[in-house]
A and B are shown apart, each in its own frame.
Chain A
Amino acid sequence: MGLIELAAVKVLSSAAVLLFSTVLLMATAKRITTCVYLLAVQAVILTLEVVAAGYMEHVPEVYIIAGMVLLAKVIGIPYALLWLMKKLHTPHDVGASLSPGYSVFVMSGLIVLSFVAVRLYLQELHATEVMLAAAVALILSGAFLMVTRSKALMQVLGLMVLENGIFLAALVTTFGMPLIVEIGIVFDLLMGLLLMGIFVFRIRDTFDHLDVSRLRRLRG
């Protein structure tokens, strides 16, 4: 009993650190597959976080949300992305327009920025500073990945990171949203992935590559 509680507290306190390290690693990653695996790791951390929060707050329905997150984000989405990569026969590099070294610098800046931004609203929202900052940092770094990586698949991946951030922000500010809202969000996410998957296929078929930075001319 005491041990489980201790584990839950530790998960809550150290999850932010691990989330930071996943986004920093994503900034250094050179292959899309590495990023996909990191995304899965990120989702595992989120799942643990949800379970820990549910345990601490004694809200049983949170476990259902944790199960959905596990199914959708840890297994479903990474598997779908890897499947997409296999089907597309696309080169594995992320098409970085900013070298890994500078990306990490920018990412560190974003993490610091999120701490500064969160501090202003800390009184109104009754959440721990680190977790909220981690949520904002995930949102910012997802957007950053979308902007600086030119492969279409990386844009999908950036969106997933961004969504993880929004999910985390909802979790730490409200301690679990209503179940129905959560189901809606996960369903939305899966539909989004489906649409973007179709889009990626269309881009590949029309242009023979997935490099978004080369999509300059309209073609019928």
Chain B
Amino acid sequence: MMNFVMNAAQMLLLVLAAPLLRGVISKLKARIQKRRGASVWRPYADLWKLLHKEDFVPNTASAVFRAAPVIVFAVTVAAAAFLPLLHPAAFLAMDGDIFLFVYLLAIARFSISLGSLDGGSAFGGMGSSREALVATLAEAPFFLVLTALAILAKTASLSGIAAWTIHQDFFDVSTVHILAFVALAIVAVAETGRVPVDNPTTHLELTMIHEAMVLEYSGPSLALIEWSQAIKLHLMAALMIGLFAPWGMSETAGLGAVAVAIGLYLVKLLCLVVGLCVVESSVAKLRMYVVPDFLRVASALALLAVIFTAITKR
């Protein structure tokens, strides 16, 4: 019973705290750039505002346009159920859920691309073609990283990998883990549309990817898309923490252990966020034609990680 409550709680935490994570990131970025920045609760207010607005739909749009935000949201929340957060077992866990996780996110991208094509504006089509390019190039390294870790842990479930890693020695630096971490960091940046690949704060550039796709959406639909984008960012962060630094997760269901687990999770998340903010404030966005090269680096590293699982026997 206690386990079930905890599992449900960690999934809810993933979904409900996602806008707050976004708020913290933009606040921290503003601080680094010597601005005041909006309140960290601002994303919630934005969602509230959007949910109470009218939903405009272009004349040319069909049911696909209306369905896309709902599908994106549902699929992203479903993916959240597979991530271990506070203890090394997820709400839903089964052997092979690494594949499910990757392709749930792929479904989300697919439907948002379709929706933006259906909107009928030139920008939407441009955005979705770019998104498709980034997605195809990011999928292979993403998959290879998870495969490498699955080979090491001898289980193809995210919770299983976390449970295996937690019993390893922290100081045993394994080549596979370093390579996989760097590759996953690059993939996460591409997947969530952060700075070197895409600029999340722009509505004005010709080079935007995600923002170009959601240009036609408004009201509750936009709210769902924005929220699922925030969840996705939180998902990738939680994935990196769960796979590479699960130490501190509570293996028993006591209250004290859970409190420690939550505290440590927040600390780890904060470390990732600070890293992200520093990178975003100090690195310029890549040209669109350099993005494949950036992702190729991730592919090479991920491939090397997989090969290393065979070379270094541990």
Contacts and interface: CB of A to CB of B under 8 A. Distances in A.
Interface of A: 10, 13-14, 16-17, 20-21, 24, 28, 99-102, 104-105, 107-108, 111-112, 115, 130
Contacts of B293: 99-101
Given A104-B301, A111-B304, A115-B311, A17 B296 contact: no
B4 interface: no
A112 B311 CA distance: 8
B300 interface: yes
Nearest to A105: B300
Main secondary structure of the interface of A (DSSP, over half): helix
A101 B297 contact: yes
Interface string B272-314: 0000000000000000000011111101110110010001100
B16 interface: no
Nearest to B304: A108
A49 to B, nearest CB: 14
Contact of A101 (B171, B172, B173, B294): B294
A130 B312 contact: yes
Given A101-B293, A130-B312, A24 B171 contact: no
Top-9 shortest CB links A-B: A101-B296, A101-B293, A104-B300, A14-B173, A108-B304, A105-B300, A17-B175, A104-B297, A108-B300
Contacts of A14: 173
Contacts of B303: 105, 108
A102 B300 CA distance: 8
Nearest to A9: B171
B260 interface: no
A20 B308 CA distance: 12
A56 B224 CA distance: 60
B151 interface: no
Nearest to B296: A101
Contacts of A111: 304
Contacts of A105: 296, 299-300, 303
B178 interface: yes
A111 B304 CA distance: 9
Given A21-B182, A99-B296, 11 more contacts: A10-B173, A14-B173, A17-B174, A17-B175, A21-B178, A28-B297, A100-B293, A101-B295, A101-B296, A104-B297, A112-B304
Nearest to B174: A17
Contacts of B178: 17, 21
Contacts of A107: 300
B300 A10 contact: no
Given A17-B178, A24-B301, A101-B296, A112 B173 contact: no
A112 B312 contact: no
Given A100-B293, A101-B293, A115-B311, A17 B173 contact: yes
Nearest to B137: A101
16 contacts: A10-B171, A13-B172, A17-B173, A99-B293, A101-B292, A101-B293, A101-B295, A101-B296, A101-B297, A102-B296, A104-B301, A105-B299, A108-B300, A108-B301, A111-B304, A112-B304
Contacts of B172: 13
Interface string B169-185: 00111110010001000
A20 B311 contact: no
Nearest to A116: B311
Contacts of A104: 296-297, 300-301
B208 to A, nearest CB: 23
Nearest to B302: A108
A99 B289 CA distance: 12
